[in-house]
Amino acid sequence: MYSQHTTSKKSIRSSIIIKLASLAFDSGIFRTGRQFWSKSLTVLNYHRIDDPHQDSFDSFLPNVSAIPAEFSHQMDYLARWFNVISLHELINWLDGHQSLPAYAALITFDDGYLDNYTQAYPILKKYDFPAVIFLTSGHIETDTPFYWDMAAYCFHHTNHDHVLFPESKERSWTNKLERRNVNKAWVESMKNLADSEKQKWINTLPAKLGVSIPKNYFRNLMLSWHQVREMSNNRIEFGSHTINHPILSKIPVDQAYIEINESKVKIETELGQKVRGFAYPNGSKNDINSEIEQLVHQAGYRAAFTLQNGPTSIREVRHNPYAVRRIFISHTHTLPQFALLTNNINRIRN
Ligand SMILES: [Zn+2]
């Protein structure tokens, strides 16, 4: 009852935001005072570019950032109002070798999904935009899924109508939408568990939902090293997102350093070039601390990106290049919302 109430309140609020954003977008009010924030850096955070409305879509929905057509509209908006830079240019600026253009924007992708190559890459090429993909090195070219995609597969293919949560609470569903919400909540509940406990819940989920996962099913969800190399020859840079995607503040420091450092070494070996950028898994305030930022620095990275929301000023980036804010993009965002998110007014909220 409570969650239903919250959901309807939330959806009323979000439909009001969509309408207001749309009105502001049409009236051009977003551009008011634009000259005052020309020295900003707008870092966009994407995960997947795919169509989640197909019946066959059986991976984790919140990770879809945009359908390909919407991504294309967003790139169009960037071409019109921003100067898209590469990570290389950002680092050159940090090192004092060049200046940054006004309204600089950096396009980033996390995790290393195959659709970055099949869907996003051709669109980026069309606009001649550089971008950076942060790879979770242990998942590239393997059949090892992220647990959220494995869970989504199980929820999508199960005939059951309920599942047990770690707090010994059972949740059920009667339709597809409710099932998706339970799926999302189940994945969220995993984030609060200690690693061994989490692993136990993840390993037993297929049996609990009566699902068996075909061998190699996830092999084609992620990029291959061959695709990574091809893109790296065509304006796409690669950074690290650890080996196994742990929340770094929740694991021992020596293990965190291995995740940060060995993923860098692996990507450098595969690409034959230096890796300078890092993105924190999950990336919210509680997932990072100054000790972890220090480890990233020590491992030889020059910049690191969080998921603390909002555009940032170039002064902030220079002050601490190991906690650069990004804007999380979701497939639920309309173009006016995208314009609102990338507007500097979005910084005031944080
Ligand atoms: Zn990630």
Phi, psi at residue 182, to the nearest 5°? -65, -40
Q: pLDDT class for 3, splitting at 50, 70, 90?
A: very low
Q: pLDDT class for 146, splitting at 50, 70, 90?
A: very high
Mean pLDDT of 300-318: 92
Q: Are 40 and 83 in contact (CB under 8 A)?
A: no
Q: How far is the CA of 159 from the centre of ligand 1 (A)?
A: 29
SS3 at position 307:
strand
Q: Which domains does the chain have, with CATH numbers?
A: 36-140+222-348 (3.20.20.370), 147-208 (no CATH)
Phi, psi at residue 213, to the nearest 5°? -95, 125
Q: How far is the CA of 200 from the centre of ligand 1 (A)?
A: 21
pLDDT, position 110? 98
Q: What pLDDT digit, counting tens, does each position of 196-217 carry?
A: 889 999 999 999 999 999 999 9
**Confidence check: pLDDT of 13 > 70:** no
Q: Angle formed by the axes of helices 253-271 and 225-232, to 10°?
A: 70
Residues with CB under 5 A from ligand 1 (ion): 110-111
Q: How far is the CA of 115 from the centre of ligand 1 (A)?
A: 15
Q: How far is the CA of 110 from the centre of ligand 1 (A)?
A: 5
Q: pLDDT class for 48, splitting at 50, 70, 90?
A: very high
**Long-range contact pairs involving 207-214 (C-beta distance under 8 Å, separation at least 24):** 208/160, 208/163, 208/164, 209/154, 209/155, 209/157, 209/158, 209/160, 209/163, 210/158, 210/159, 210/160, 211/153, 211/154, 211/157, 211/158, 213/150, 213/153, 213/154
pLDDT, position 33? 65
pLDDT, position 346? 66
Q: How far is the CA of 113 from the centre of ligand 1 (A)?
A: 10
Q: How far is the CA of 109 from the centre of ligand 1 (A)?
A: 9
The predicted model scores a pTM of 0.90
- Better-scored residue on pLDDT, 230 or 19: 230
Q: Are 158 and 182 in contact (CB under 8 A)?
A: no
**Cα angle: 223, vertex 307, 44; to 5 degrees:** 65
Q: How far is the CA of 104 from the centre of ligand 1 (A)?
A: 23
pLDDT, position 91? 98
Q: How far is the CA of 309 from the centre of ligand 1 (A)?
A: 15
pLDDT, position 191? 84
**Confidence check: pLDDT of 72 > 70:** yes
Cα–Cα dist 332/109, whole Å: 17
Mean pLDDT of 132-145: 96
